[in-house]
Amino acid sequence: MGKTAFGAFAERSLRDFTVEAVAKCLADAGVEPSAVGAFYLGNFAGPEFVGQSHLAPYVAGEAGFIGIPCTRFENACASSGSAFYHAYAAVAAGMVEWALVAGVEKMTSQPGPRVTEILAEAGDVGGEGRAGATFPALFAMIARRHMHVYGTTREHLAAVAVKNHANGAKNALAHLRKPITLAQALAGKPVCDPLTVYDCSLVSDGAAAVLLRAAQPGDIRVLGIAQASDYVALDQKPDITTLAANGRAAAKAFAMAGLGPRQVDLLEVHDCFTIAEILAIEDMGFVAKGEGGPATASGYTALEGEKPVNTSGGLKSKGHPVGATGVGQICDLVIQMRGIAEPERQVKRREVGLAQNLGGSGATSVVTILGR
Amino acid sequence: MGKTAFGAFAERSLRDFTVEAVAKCLADAGVEPSAVGAFYLGNFAGPEFVGQSHLAPYVAGEAGFIGIPCTRFENACASSGSAFYHAYAAVAAGMVEWALVAGVEKMTSQPGPRVTEILAEAGDVGGEGRAGATFPALFAMIARRHMHVYGTTREHLAAVAVKNHANGAKNALAHLRKPITLAQALAGKPVCDPLTVYDCSLVSDGAAAVLLRAAQPGDIRVLGIAQASDYVALDQKPDITTLAANGRAAAKAFAMAGLGPRQVDLLEVHDCFTIAEILAIEDMGFVAKGEGGPATASGYTALEGEKPVNTSGGLKSKGHPVGATGVGQICDLVIQMRGIAEPERQVKRREVGLAQNLGGSGATSVVTILGR
């Protein structure tokens, strides 16, 4: 696996980032570019962010593997989780020996309002978008409803931010390495009630890559993996306090792995907003419905807690270069499972890791369980 | 399989088109939406053409199969050929019983200059694009070089247009149903020398869908399939008179099928420009290098010829809704192979069909060989 730093890098291009992550990945594996049999690229909106499409061969030409099948996968913020899912399928089927999966996004080249507009295209543009709802608004509605139904509080949301900032501050590749207090999180500038700036993930540039093969002794293995879908528009979901695709994907991935939440040692989940982390641990069965906030506030998901969640800092602090996030989560699990995280954030129980990558406001979810 | 008409339909949406093609496909197969196990959507630039991304679940919600993995594939004009390739892999691997593959593009909602700009993003924007080269310019350079090296003439290019217009005029689902004469083709308004308006494919709306399963007796089968890549920028190719990805994909697909060009009865090839059809039949070994033009002019690829090419009318006359083209070609082969084409364009030898779907100026090529 290989990752670039996540952050705002005005001088660097989408292709630069991807080539760096790919080169790090191949060096980490000791594999030559010529051995790569297929290239899977997760990217949400390169055409709109940087004006270039046909990105898979465009990157492959620079990365040193031309000729092989090169394909771009787009599933909003789950683009590279989805690319990983399809690459896993090809390797498992014996169609390719070494599959290289990368994810990338270069977001900071566009002004903020345009970034918000591009992100909103992952929602229901003709309905939600026409009504003026950008992503903070969609997740604010989800949060408000969760507060109403389950008694979740602003302090619960803020606890997610405080934890993830604490973790990300210890991650050398994180975008925002700044611990914050509960008081700071609660006093954040409002973005869309009840969410403040501290409830929202970052607009970042970056890339990540992993190399897959049929598992050999010593390899970290995919024990279970599943991709699931749901309606794009919130108003088509029977209950917006549950993102059904998370539960569907987790149930399949757990069944495939023959494991349950109890056996998972650490998680990387898709905290595009603080409420999304609460939904993720609830929807996948790590805590009972409605208990995500209190569990977080109690330290259950902290670095030293029973189920460390987002030891990388999560999207909130590590950054969220949209198309890179899914593969980035896989890399972050591998870093912990190999025991090579910064000592101040290295977890002790690290046999089984779970990554959950969400697309949009829940129309796609990819859940991957890694083990030995 | 199911196809919509291709054309300019101001009042219809990207989702409408896809749902129509999917519904026709499921009705054709007698399969319920609930039986679909995975959804593969090829789409080049929906986010830029219609301002909506995350298109796979967005379509699936209306088409009646939510919950399953739904993924968008983007490989420029080979987007749905690539989606078909990945769906084939999943079915062949036993990961899914019924895989639904659709392709769609809704292009006419943008003004012409913007369409040209969006299409140019499938080339090398930082190099070719900065130099002002849009796709007609890239293929004009290829054509001019082919004329210089092999003596290909304007009449040879025009012969492709005349043939494809003649075929498309007989196809009820074609965009432009207008036979043209050689004199008309030669006198077409110049677009980019040596290409006239009659050398360029159409800007169209439309969708196509096919359903895949592990082959049962009586099914039309995928005998061979391969996807290959090449550099995006023309200046990185050692010889622009050959699109190397075509040869790579065809060689693999023929090897998998255990067949050669001799056994192929009919072809649907990617004539985004007339020169591209000439390259396709040369690069895949149907004629010797440099003989594509003379072979076309001699009637070798005509409806009544030895190797009918683009009996649908091709991109030139049938239309080229970019993301729909690859799956559309599969449908067009199936229509001929079942013997259900309009009688005036139905071919007699129809046991083995080959589809070739090109991305951009040749950075992606997908070749599929169908048989019984």
For the purposes of burial, counting CB atoms within 10 Å of the CB of B235, is it exposed (0-12), middle (13-18) or buried (19 or more)?
A: exposed
Strands (E), B14-128: 38-42, 70-74, 99-106
A165 is catalytic: no
The reported pLDDT for the residue numbered A212 is 98
Instruction: Answer whether residue B164 is part of any domain.
Output: no
Contact status, residue B99 vs residue B212, Cβ threshold 8 Å: yes
- Rounded to the nearest 5 degrees, what angle is found at the Cα of A365, between the Cα atoms of A360 and A366? 135
Chain A contacts of B60, Cβ < 8 Å?
A: 229
Chain A contacts of B69, Cβ < 8 Å?
A: 82, 85, 226-229
The minimum CA-CA distance between B155 and chain A, rounded to whole Å, is 32
Instruction: Answer whether residue B162 is part of any domain.
Output: no
Average pLDDT over residues B166-189: 97
Which domain CATH number covers A318? 3.40.47.10
The reported pLDDT for the residue numbered B93 is 85
Q: Tell if the CB–CB gap between A121 and B90 is shorter than 8 Å.
A: no
Instruction: Answer whether residue B155 is part of any domain.
Output: no
pLDDT tens sequence across B249-284: 999 999 999 999 999 999 999 999 999 999 999 999
Q: Tell if the CB–CB gap between B57 and A122 is shorter than 8 Å.
A: no
Could you say which DSSP state residue A8 is in?
Answer: -
Mutation target to probe the A interface, by most A beta carbons within 10 A, among B53, B91, B246 is B53
Chain A contacts of B52, Cβ < 8 Å?
A: 121, 125-126
Quick one: pLDDT band at residue B94, thresholds 50, 70, 90? confident
Instruction: Answer whether residue A221 is part of any domain.
Output: yes
DSSP strand pairing (B38-42 vs B70-74): parallel
Average pLDDT over residues B83-92: 95
Mutation target to probe the A interface, by most A beta carbons within 10 A, among B50, B229, B242 is B229
Total Cβ atoms within 10 A of residue A235: 11
Q: What is the pTM of this model?
A: 0.97
Closest residue in A to B40 (Cα) is A73
Instruction: Answer whether residue B142 is part of any domain.
Output: no
The minimum CA-CA distance between A234 and chain B, rounded to whole Å, is 12
Closest residue in A to B46 (Cα) is A121
Order of strands across the sheet that contains A364-371: A221-229, A364-371, A353-359, A266-268
Alpha helices in A267-324 (DSSP H): 274-283, 292-297, 314-317
Chain A contacts of B95, Cβ < 8 Å?
A: 89, 92-93
Q: Tell if the CB–CB gap between A121 and B48 is shorter than 8 Å.
A: no
Closest residue in B to A60 (Cα) is B231
The reported pLDDT for the residue numbered B357 is 98
> What ipTM was predicted for this assembly?
0.96
Q: What are phi and psi of A91, to 5 degrees?
A: -70, -45
Chain B contacts of A364, Cβ < 8 Å?
A: 54, 56-57, 70
Q: What are phi and psi of B48, to 5 degrees?
A: -85, -35
Instruction: Answer whether residue A140 is part of any domain.
Output: no
Instruction: Answer whether residue B130 is part of any domain.
Output: no
**What's the rounded Cα separation, in Å, for the pair B76 and B95?**
26
**What's the rounded Cα separation, in Å, for the pair B262 and A16?**
44
Chain A contacts of B230, Cβ < 8 Å?
A: 57, 66-67
Q: Tell if the CB–CB gap between A92 and B93 is shorter than 8 Å.
A: yes
pLDDT tens sequence across B119-135: 999 999 999 999 999 99
Query: Token match 């996540």: residue?
Result: A6
Q: Which residues of chain A have pLDDT under 70?
A: none
**What's the rounded Cα separation, in Å, for the pair A338 and A331?**
10
Encoded amino acid at B24, one letter: K
User: What is chain B's mean pLDDT, rounded?
Assistant: 97
The reported pLDDT for the residue numbered A95 is 87
Q: Tell if the CB–CB gap between B231 and A61 is shorter than 8 Å.
A: yes
Domain holding A25, by residue range, is: 2-111+202-371
Quick one: pLDDT band at residue B139, thresholds 50, 70, 90? very high
Closest residue in B to A40 (Cα) is B73
The minimum CA-CA distance between B188 and chain A, rounded to whole Å, is 30
Instruction: Answer whether residue A287 is part of any domain.
Output: yes
Closest residue in A to B227 (Cα) is A69
**What's the rounded Cα separation, in Å, for the pair B272 and B284?**
17
The minimum CA-CA distance between A30 and chain B, rounded to whole Å, is 24
Catalytic residue among B70, B77, B192, B200: B77
Q: How many domains does chain B have?
A: 1
Closest residue in A to B37 (Cα) is A228
Sign of CA dihedral A130, A131, A135, A139: negative
Quick one: pLDDT band at residue B208, thresholds 50, 70, 90? very high
Task: For residue A71, give the nearest of B56, B86, B236 by CB distance.
Answer: B86
A77 is catalytic: yes
Q: Tell if the CB–CB gap between B54 and A85 is shorter than 8 Å.
A: no
Quick one: pLDDT band at residue B109, thresholds 50, 70, 90? very high
Sign of CA dihedral A301, A188, A175, A172: negative
Average pLDDT over residues B332-349: 98
